[in-house]
Structure formats: structure tokens, C-alpha cells
Amino acid sequence: MFKKLLILTLLMLGLQMAQAQIVTECPQNIGFESGTFANWDSFIGEISGTGERFPNAVRPPRVSLNFTGPIPGHHTLIRRSDRRDDYGNFSLNAPNGSEYVVQLGNDLTGRGVDRISYTISVPLNVESYSIIFSYAVVFQNPGHEEDEQPKFTARVFNPLSDRPTDCGSFEFVAQGGLPGFKVSNRDSRVLYKSWAPVLVNLSSYRGQTIRLEFTANDCSRGGHFGYAYIDFNENCSIPVTGNITCPETSSITLKSLPGFFGYRWFDEATQTDLGTSDSLIISPVPPIGTKIGIEMVPYPGLGCTQTLYTVIQGMEMNILDPLPRCLAVDLTDIALKVGNSSDLSYTYWRNKQATVPLLYPNMVSESGVYYVKGISSSGCEMILATRVTIIEVPAINFIRTLTANYPETVDLTTAYTPLPELSYSYWMDRAATVPLRTPDRIYKGGTYFIKTISNGACTNISPARVEIQVPEIAIPNAFTPNGDQVNDELTVLINSEIQVREFKIFNRWGEVVYTTPDINNYWTGFKESTQVPTGVYYWVFEGIRNSKRYSRSGYITLIR
């Protein structure tokens, strides 16, 4: 699956001969690759009605917006499918093959305004930097004054000065004669423009903060709609592919961004023209180090002419061994592919011959040697090995049985042989969220858990089944509910053959201060929400044993 929506693209203008093209990391989720609007700001609002018009001036409509977060129907992620736009009938799939596009606005009326924005920091230590996005626009053309029409606005600007970047902003206002727009077959009042790309060079803004802002609004009279689709690439390398060659290659095909008004390929050294489409086939292959340029001409008013360069070079591929991990390793991590040619695609295999696929290369959970196959856009291939190390923390091996006869207890801390490189802790639950306060003297049967942690923070949680044999019923003579977490509860242990019906506690005047059918719901010294005083209390247990009524009673001293 190709990666998606808005991309920051490193334009390696003036690459040196034989220098590898480096893949630049994109800002997180700038292309909605998480399937969410994380790191994006979303707004909705409205546009005011047109003010009073004068002979030579007019008070224009004003846009008011509120930060809301993403709202479906206003800021809508559309996943790849066979859907098409209702008015233009063009595909809603991302033109670069990515998983999501964004629909900004809708076909409802009412002076609505919808906006999304993303703030980025342009890296300082790169030679050149650009963003590439694609857009499609649909709106009604009611024939109002220009400032009253539906519109779509794209801005790339410095938020401190509020000044747009060079060639980075444009605005479409619904009216006839717009470049690249067509009339809808469904509704003749609707104009639409299917997907078109825009490349904005940010090389002169290195080290600065830049904001991307996209706004769609209805007409200011409230009766006509406007909306747009936006798709951001995430390939942050030079947007010219196919420059990698290998010995058996007789020709190469260079490809650039589709959708521009015009193209001119040329040899940088001789300035010889080579082609005028978005791709170029060169045969025979030029020598390594040959520098090829392409001039990309946008549609009028939609950015500036860009000249990009690529260098013919041999395939460069390296695969690092991933760092040891506890549970799983991600072999698809771009950090493992330092210095590789920028246009490589990768597949993952269990054997050197690349015949047995690795089904989940992003979650490799077994140690061993695996193989990565790189394929350049020109068809060159290379297979390299990488070693995965999964750190395994051993489960607890108990050296004695975990049983005792009441009132004896079980000591979990000495029931196994500890390893010096591991640390141990004791818990009531498998998730290790409720600590076991007295692991060295467990008096109640049940399943407890020992968490083992290695020096590298890898963990293992082992269950420990404790069995305490109780003759009939066991209740201590005293308990101390004073909040020191020692003997704070009146524990009641019963033989597994006995079924509980009711457990009651009375004070010296015969009043019931506590009752429960759950013998594990221990008394903590309260009558409802009121703390009872120190003293002697009388308890009564009712149950069934061997289909016969079973009852016991006795005294308990509460000490605070």
C-alpha cells in the first residue's frame, strides 16, 4: 500500500554524482496515515452576508471560525474504495494510491465554513524541502458577485508574519472559465475539478514554522454549497523516481508527478530536451552520475514552475539488524534502511531465495535470520539478511509445591530459584495492577502472579496457584482495621465443600453491623458508612455442607 495524503518532499536539487538519495522523515500523521486527524486542527464556522455596497467599494463578507476538532460531514476521512463524487463522478481514491483522502465541507447550504490546518517545522539541515498535495473541488456557481460565491482556499504561510510562501497559496471562486473545471452532468449549476497536484518549495524556509491551511465555504447568501477533497503524499523524497539502474538494465523510465500543465525533461550538462510528458524512457541507460532535470509547469494561478533534478545511479541498499526487543520487531521500520536509494520498495521473506514470505514483517516475534528484498522503480533487485533478537524472560519454575494447611501460610518469595539478572514483584491480578502485600505469608488459596523484569525492561508474568487446606471454617480471634494495610480486614476461610448462604456480625446489643452472602467480601470495621468502635463482636455463619444445613458462630475482637 502506498503511503498517503499530504507529504513533505525532500527535493535533492543539485545532487552530487553517485550520492544516494536520502528518505526524509515526514511529520507525524501529516498524511492521515493513522486513519485519524491526530496533529491536525479542525474548525467550523460561517461566512457573514455581504455588507452594504458603494459605488467604488463593498464591505466584504467576514469568516468566523471556532476550533471544534474533526466533525464528520465537515471534516471527513474517506477510505480507499470504489466511491465516486456525486457531481463530478471522479474517483475519491487518493491519486497517489494512499489509503485516505479528506472531504472538507459538504453539499448542504447555509453559509457554512470548514477548515483544517497543520503546523510544521521545516528541517534546518536539509538541502531542499517541499510539500506536495493534491486537491479536487466541487461547488455551485450561482452567479453572485465574486465575494459572495462559494470558494476553496489553500494557504501555505508563515503563521508569525501571516505572509504566504512563494507560490504556496491560491483561491478558487465558483465562476465560469476556471482553469481545468468542468460542468457537472448531474447539475449544470455545479462546477468541478478532479484531482490535480501542487508542489510548494519550502527550501528558503528551513528552520522556520509553516502552516498549511485549507478552507471550503458556501456562498455568503446561504443558498449554494462548496466543498473540496485533499490528499497529501507521504513520500518525503525527491518526486522523481526510476533513476536507479543495474547492470542488466537496457533502459530506465523516469517518472514525475502527474497532473501538471506541462513538462520538459532535459540533460543538465548539454541542456538537450528529452521529453514533454510526466514520464521519460531513456535507452540506452545514461552513465552513472548523469544529471537529468525536469521543468514542471502548473496550471495558471496554481503555483510556480519548478525545476527538479535527479542523478542516474546504481542501486544502494543496506539493512541494519534491529535492536533486541521484548515482544516483537518491526522490520518495515525505515530507520533500518539508512542510506538506501529513495525509490526502493521492500518485501520480506523467511529464506534467502525469497520463496517463503514473512506474513507479518511489522510484528516479528521470533528470533532468527530474515531476508529483505529491495526493488527499485527501474526493476533492480537485491536481497539482504537481517538478524532479529527477541529477548525472552523465562517463566517461573517453582521448586516446591504451593500448598499449606491452615493456619500455615505459603511463601511465594522462596518457592523458586531467582536469577541475578532479573527482578521480581508479586501481584493479585494478571495485569499486575494490584500488588500482593504479603507474598511471604499467603493464608488464602487462589491464583497470584509473579512479574519478572530483565535489565532491558522485558517482562514475563507467571501465575502461581496457591492451595490452603481449611478443615471447616477459619476466622481469626482479632483484627485491626486501622488503615496500616496489615490485618485491616476480617478474613473468613472455608472448606471448598461448604456453600455460603450468609455471614453476619452483631454488636454486644444484638444489632447487625455487617451482613453479606459473599464470604470474600471481608468486613473492614464499618456499619454501612460509619466506623464501629473497638470492642468484641459476635459472628454467625450459615451455609450448606453435603446437602445439610451448616452453621457456626463465635467472637471477634476489633482493635484500632
Lowest mean pLDDT among 73-77, 111-115, 231-235: 231-235
Q: Are residues 224 and 357 in the same domain?
A: no
- State the CATH number of the domain containing residue 519: 2.60.40
Q: Is the pLDDT of residue 559 over 90?
A: yes
Same domain, 197 and 263: no
- Reported as a pLDDT band with limits 50, 70 and 90, residue 464 is very high
Return phi, psi of residue 295, to 5°: -100, 120
pLDDT of residue 7: 28
Is residue 14 scored above 80 in pLDDT?
no
Q: Which CATH number belongs to the domain containing residue 264 in this structure?
A: 2.60.40.10
pLDDT band with cut points at 50, 70 and 90 for residue 128: low
- Residue 238 confidence (pLDDT): 63
Q: Residue 347: its pLDDT value, please?
A: 95
Q: Output the CA torsion 477→483→484→490 (10° steps).
A: 20
DSSP 228-261: EEEEE----S-S-B--EE-TT-S-EEEE--S--S
Q: How confident is the model at residue 2 (pLDDT cuts 50, 70, 90)?
A: very low
Q: Confidence class of residue 170 from pLDDT cuts 50, 70 and 90?
A: confident
Of 232, 264, 284, which residue sits at a domain end?
Answer: 232
Q: Decide if 470 contacts 495 (C-beta within 8 A).
A: yes
- Residues 106, 152 share a domain: yes
Peptide bond into 284 cis (omega under 30): yes
Please write the tens of the pLDDT for every residue from 51-62.
555 556 566 788
Residue 104 above 90 pLDDT? Answer: yes
User: What pLDDT does residue 19 have?
Assistant: 34
**Does one domain contain both 119 and 225?**
yes
Amino acid identity, position 5 = L
- Tell whether the model's pLDDT for residue 428 goes beyond 70: yes
* Distance (Å, whole) CA 306 – CA 11: 10
Residue 352 has pLDDT above 80, yes or no: yes
Report whether pLDDT(277) > 90. Answer: yes
- Domain C-terminal end among 442, 469, 496: 469
What are the grid coordinates assigned to 184, written together?
457537472
Query: Domain check: are 39 and 164 in the same one?
Result: yes
Q: Is 9 a residue whose pLDDT tops 60?
A: no
Indicate the residue type of 404.
A
Does 1 fall in a domain?
Answer: no
What pLDDT is recorded for position 6? 29
What pLDDT shows up at residue 196? 85
Q: How confident is the model at residue 100 (pLDDT cuts 50, 70, 90)?
A: very high
Give strand ranges (E) for 378-534.
Answer: 381-388, 403-405, 422-427, 446-454, 459-469, 473-474, 478-479, 493-494, 498-506, 512-516, 526-527, 530-531
Whether 319 contacts 220, CB under 8 Å: no
Rounded CA gap, 266 and 291, in Å?
9
Q: pLDDT tens, 490-515?
A: 999 998 889 999 999 999 999 999 99
How high is the pLDDT of residue 276?
Answer: 96
Higher pLDDT, 171 or 264: 264
Average pLDDT for residues 353-369, to the nearest whole number?
95
pLDDT of residue 56: 60
Residue 3: band (very low, low, confident or very high) from pLDDT cuts 50, 70, 90: very low
Q: Is the residue at 371 inside a domain?
A: yes
On the question of pLDDT at 446 being above 60, the answer is yes
User: Both 480 and 456 in a single domain?
Assistant: no
Domain that holds residue 376: 334-388
CB 42 within 8 A of CB 70: yes
Other beta carbons less than 10 A from residue 45's beta carbon: 17
User: Is 396 within a domain?
Assistant: no
Instruction: Note the pLDDT of residue 16.
Output: 29
Same domain? For 307 and 354 the reply is: no
Q: Does 395 reside within a domain?
A: no
- Distance between CA atoms of 329 and 362, rounded to whole angstroms? 7
Same domain, residue pair 88 and 168: yes
pLDDT at 261 over 70: yes
Residue 89 pLDDT level (bands cut at 50, 70, 90): very high
DSSP secondary structure, 471-509, as one string: SSEE--SEE--SSSSSS-SB--EE-TTEEEEEEEEE-TT
User: What kind and span of H or E run contains 311?
Assistant: strand 306-311
Domain count, the chain: 5
| 520 within domain boundaries | yes
Does the structure show a pLDDT above 90 at 201? no
Residue 23 has pLDDT above 70, yes or no: no
Quickly count: other Cβ atoms within 10 Å of residue 155's Cβ: 18
pLDDT tens-digit series, residues 217-243: 999 999 999 999 998 877 656 678 888
Same domain assignment for residues 344 and 441: no
Q: Is the pLDDT of residue 177 over 50?
A: yes
3-class SS at 146? helix
Point out the domain boundary residue: 170, 204, 232. 232
Residue 445 shares a structural domain with residue 497: no
Answer whether residue 237 is part of any domain.
no
Give the model confidence (pLDDT) of 476-491 as tens digits: 999 999 988 788 999 9
pLDDT at 65: 94
Specify the 3-state DSSP secondary structure of 412: helix
- Per-residue CA distances from 221 to 176, 228, 239 (Å): 19, 19, 42
Say which range, 17-31, 262-276, 403-417, has the weakest mean pLDDT.
Answer: 17-31
| pLDDT surpassing 70 at residue 25 | no
Question: What's the whole-number mean pLDDT along residues 327-350?
Answer: 88
What pLDDT was estimated at residue 242?
A: 83
* pLDDT score for 413: 95
pLDDT-above-90 percentage for the chain: 57
Residue 118 lies in a domain: yes
- In terms of domains, do 338 and 253 share one? no
Establish whether the linkage from the previous residue to 407 is cis, with ω within 30° of 0.
yes
In a domain, residue 384? The reply is yes
Percentage of the chain lying above the pLDDT 70 cut: 92
pLDDT of 52 reads: 52
**Whether residues 481 and 460 fall in one domain:** no
Number of Cβ within 10 Å of residue 176's Cβ equals 9
13: pLDDT strictly greater than 60? no
Is the pLDDT reported for residue 555 higher than 60? yes
